[in-house]
Copies of this chain bind each other. A is one copy, B any other.
Amino acid sequence: MDYQKILNTIFLTCSSSKDRGEVASYIPELANIERSKFGIHLIDSGKNNYQAGDAEHKFSIQSISKVLSLAHAIGLVGKTIWKRLNVEPSGDPFNHLSLLEMENGIPRNPLINAGAIVIADILVSNLENPKADFLNYVRKLANDTSIDFNLDVANSEKKSGFRNYAAANLLKSYGNLKNDVETVLDFYFHQCAIEMSCSQLAKTFFLFMNHGTCQQGRTYLNLSQVKRINALMLTCGFYDEAGEFAFEVGLPGKSGVGGGIVALLPNRYCVATWSPGLNIKGNSKLGMKALEKLTTATKQSIF
């Protein structure tokens, strides 16, 4: 499979596209990103790397971090996390507080905000220096110590993240938040404010297509744990567009409002794209298109 040729073709099509969606604007740090950016990076099972466009440009990974915090939590405390979280698709993210209220404080899954806040709470309880330790976990997966938080983004989210404060307080009212709201959200806003490039992201997510073993050969998760996380990415990784992505692309993956998407074909490859313009559902418009083209060109998907 000539992945480089495929990426080149995708880059050509996408970089000339005019229909790029809207850049997230709820905090200034995200609004100021150039909409013209587009990058893609693929690492295959043999650890060969292929890229095109702005694949080394760092961006805010935002919700993509939820998969990494979930993996870290599962690695630390195993199955016990499922006492505090469910694993089912959420349907509608726009009323996620209603859903949380209807289900008595048990988030539908760990990839919606309320669920990711519970995961953040678990990490805060189980890590000595939560922010530093989590950053270190990500750096080791990526094999890259240059990865860091963007503190401006984290602070901006803290100032305007009222819905996350609402969710955390609601969780607290149900007894499903052990630490105090400020501490958990401080961790959560930092986690989301990690900056990575497509290249770093694809390498970091290598373990999810490689049975839990990272590119450096360290095993973080067992087969069953990887299966669980991949299943969650497939059914819940794209807000209210998970079904559409499962069909159009057919790979487990996760998107973030920073415009990044990471996806993987078990045993074959892991791929990351970045284009800051979002479609109406909050997923990167060109990123979705690029991954659709990739699975069409390779004729490979999980289905």
Q: Are A302 and B170 in contact (CB under 8 A)?
A: no
Determine how close the nearest CB of chain B comes to the CB of A239; give it in whole angstroms: 10
The chain B residue with its CB closest to the CB of A227 is B303
Instruction: Please name all residues of chain B whose beta carbon is closer than 8 Å to the beta carbon of A90 when the two chains form the complex.
Output: 89, 91
For A160-198 the 0/1 string (1 means CB < 8 A from B) is 001101110110110000000100000000000000000
A6-50 residues with Cβ-Cβ distance < 8 A to B are none
Q: How many A residues touch B, CB cutoff 8 Å?
A: 49
A95 CA to B170 CA, complexed, in Å: 11
Task: List the B side residues contacting A235 at CB < 8 Å.
Answer: 89, 234-235, 242-243, 246
CB of A231 closer than 8 Å to a CB of B: yes
A236, CB-defined interface residue at 8 Å: yes
Partner of A301, one of B227, B232, B242, B250: B227
Interface residue A109 (Cβ < 8 Å from any Cβ of B): yes
In this assembly, does A87 line the interface, its C-beta being within 8 Å of a C-beta of chain B? yes
- Check if A133 is an interface residue, CB within 8 A of chain B: no
In this complex, the member of A89, A162, A166, A227 whose beta carbon has the largest number of chain B beta carbons within 10 angstroms is: A166
B residues less than 8 Å from A109 (CB atoms): 243
Q: Find out whether the CB atom of B162 lies under 8 angstroms from the CB atom of A166.
A: no
* Nearest-Cβ distance from residue A88 to partner chain B, whole angstroms: 4
Kindly name the residue among A230, A246, A252 whose own CB sees the greatest number of chain B CB atoms within 10 A.
A246
Chain B residues with CB below 8 A from A167, complex form: 166
- A97: CB under 8 A from chain B? yes
Contact B252 A231 (CB under 8 A): no
A246 to B230, CA, bound (A): 9
Q: Does A144 contact B (CB under 8 A)?
A: no
| Complex contacts, A231 vs chain B, CB 8 Å | 243, 246-247, 250, 303
Residues of A in contact with B (beta carbons under 8 Å apart): 86-92, 95, 97-99, 101-102, 108-109, 162-163, 165-167, 169-170, 172-173, 181, 223, 226-228, 230-232, 234-236, 240-244, 246-247, 250, 252, 266, 299, 301-303
A-B contact pairs, 11 of them (CB 8 A): A87-B247, A88-B242, A91-B99, A91-B108, A95-B98, A162-B181, A163-B169, A226-B303, A234-B235, A235-B242, A302-B302
